[in-house]
Structure 1
């Protein structure tokens, strides 16, 4: 199955570390161009944040329609204007999950308190629900999980997700004030990532247990907002042929293909070739599933 894929990767000098293909619950193909080890997932991390949000909502910690004022009273600047405060009331969990706050830029924060900084930024365009990719949204979403559960997000996911998937001692990044980054920084192996995709393919069910609410999996992975790439769910990208993916910078990806009952996980270190590698997967593997 992977012969043509490997040939194309080598021919085009794509810096792909490895690939795992699961079909009908069975690993049918695997190849490592480099020894397998835990690698930076970049924005694939966001899909784990989404998973934690879904679990916390299902356990009654908060609602998708709750606004940020409910969770961050201590971080809201005391001198913000009434208009700013009124706009923050419209920054809901749902708006964070859909990346639909166009006043939140895609920049990495360098200050000492990320929460206070983000909440101090005016959101005058909050009434316009337009896709604006930003790490700020997923950072806030993860912090909400931690505030309400009173647990580190990785700790919260440990018994609920990681342990059933056989994933131990997950590495990740934290903000200066100690919150899980939420947007990037997690490290996993390609096989660990593929098992995460398998949980979603099976609508939250894995190894005899319902790990994630089926309803959340459906909501998180369907198109919630339009994008140039074809749509976005709750930190999952919609993809062609009714597929969706957890996707990170430099070619980290976990593609879930319901119509083929398959998962394809890839780890890479690419500059600007992610779409080319995805197309290579489509041309050489998808048609063989």
Structure 2
């Protein structure tokens, strides 16, 4: 037990030592050094394969074999990821109406939220599509037309030409990309900051990925609907899909960040993919316009790799939402499948290529006997893999020396007087 006192009084009847914060931390660290770690590594299982049921996330469960999924390929994917020393936090695989395989690397769990980074952009696109469908604005409307009171003194011809479509397709004519971390510390209007970015080329011609463009899409939705994208989507998308408990960062004046800042669960990423797989329908309801989903997920730039805030993987006949460090919602429309992933992998790692090496290869290539054998192996792996080792409680020889001792802290910014 450790009691911390902030500038007040506490029981000081035991031994007392005057220390700095650094000295105290070193002492406690030494006391806990004998808490050893046992080797282990793997996934926390969430279901038993073959048990068709609805979990708390509202999704049906089934077995890989029933969905003609080759469990050995899924297993090989997991093996190769860990063989490359990459941190796979979770995955959920959906096919033919059921979640057929899923796992979370401890300490990650199904009910724990995960930062989505730029996967957020594909969620923002949902708000744009709905706002257009409701008549709030159009694809060819110009960005400057929404914010006449926040424009620079001189509006160039290039800036004046910048349209909603250009923002959606990452073809703004900017010379450099702007990440969310650039805007985040700014305490004034991010819209004003956006219009300071030079538009040096004709918009609608050259692709340049930038989170600033996604923020502007969010700002336009807010300007025209009177609601932040997060609030606008609540009754229209989140509630119908059973998505709750998410958080989404915002600008100082309450505009959802658009390009990043979303935190939700792996199942929510899967639902985003399923909604698009089903052309915007969910449980019999047309949640997103079918025409919007079709346009958002087809090639909208010259080289064919990007739609409206969705990436395309043409060799795999797939499209996907993607966030930094390995956050994915991958849709395989030709295979009636969706793969959601969270991870913590470095930039430049082979993680992306490993995903598309094994998917859609896992769909429908094994005979029944092989699928069943692979399913057992996959279930065993999911039950016996962990991201982090177990901690084993032991005692330290320092415990008797420091237990009951009061440490009187030197003056510090946190106003901690005694511990």
> Normalized against structure 1, the TM-score is what?
0.93
Counterpart of 2:150 in 1: which secondary structure?
coil
2:321 matched residue in structure 1: 246
Check whether the contact 1:245–1:254 (CA below 8 A) recurs between aligned residues.
yes
Candidates 113, 124, 132, aligned match of 1:57: 132
Check whether the contact 2:171–2:203 (CA below 8 A) recurs between aligned residues.
no
Q: Which is worse superposed, 117-126 or 180-189?
A: 117-126
Shift of 1:101: 1.5
Check whether the contact 1:54–1:216 (CA below 8 A) recurs between aligned residues.
yes
Check whether the contact 1:99–1:133 (CA below 8 A) recurs between aligned residues.
yes
1:142 matched residue in structure 2: 218
Residues 1:72 and 1:104: Cα distance change in structure 2 (over 3 Å): farther
Unaligned 5+ segments in structure 1 are none
Shift of 1:122: 3.1
2:298 matched residue in structure 1: 222
Alpha-carbon distance between aligned partners in 2 of 1:17 and 1:87, rounded to the nearest angstrom: 43
1:14 matched residue in structure 2: 86
Alpha-carbon distance between aligned partners in 2 of 1:200 and 1:215, rounded to the nearest angstrom: 11
Alpha-carbon distance between aligned partners in 1 of 2:226 and 2:276, rounded to the nearest angstrom: 26
Higher relative contact order by CA 8 Å / sep ≥ 6: 1 or 2? 2
Q: Which is worse superposed, 158-167 or 265-274?
A: 265-274
Alpha-carbon distance between aligned partners in 2 of 1:185 and 1:251, rounded to the nearest angstrom: 15
Check whether the contact 1:221–1:233 (CA below 8 A) recurs between aligned residues.
yes
Deviations 1:87-115 (A, max 9, x none): 33211000000000131632322432211
Alpha-carbon distance between aligned partners in 1 of 2:143 and 2:357, rounded to the nearest angstrom: 44
Alpha-carbon distance between aligned partners in 2 of 1:268 and 1:231, rounded to the nearest angstrom: 23
Candidates 171, 174, 177, aligned match of 2:250: 174
1:68 matched residue in structure 2: 143
Candidates 351, 360, 363, aligned match of 1:286: 360
Alpha-carbon distance between aligned partners in 2 of 1:104 and 1:285, rounded to the nearest angstrom: 35
Alpha-carbon distance between aligned partners in 2 of 1:124 and 1:249, rounded to the nearest angstrom: 27
Alpha-carbon distance between aligned partners in 2 of 1:125 and 1:201, rounded to the nearest angstrom: 35
How many pairs were matched up? 282
Alpha-carbon distance between aligned partners in 2 of 1:284 and 1:21, rounded to the nearest angstrom: 12
Matched, 1:259 2:334: yes
Alpha-carbon distance between aligned partners in 2 of 1:116 and 1:211, rounded to the nearest angstrom: 33
Alpha-carbon distance between aligned partners in 2 of 1:127 and 1:144, rounded to the nearest angstrom: 18
Check whether the contact 1:25–1:198 (CA below 8 A) recurs between aligned residues.
no
Q: Which is worse superposed, 182-191 or 163-172?
A: 163-172
Check whether the contact 1:104–1:136 (CA below 8 A) recurs between aligned residues.
no
Shift of 1:192: 1.2
Matched, 1:118 2:118: no
Counterpart of 1:272 in 2: which secondary structure?
coil
Structure 1 stretches of at least 4 aligned residues deviating more than 4 Å after TM superposition = none
> Normalized against structure 2, the TM-score is what?
0.65
Q: Which protein shows a greater Rg?
A: 2
Matched, 1:90 2:161: yes
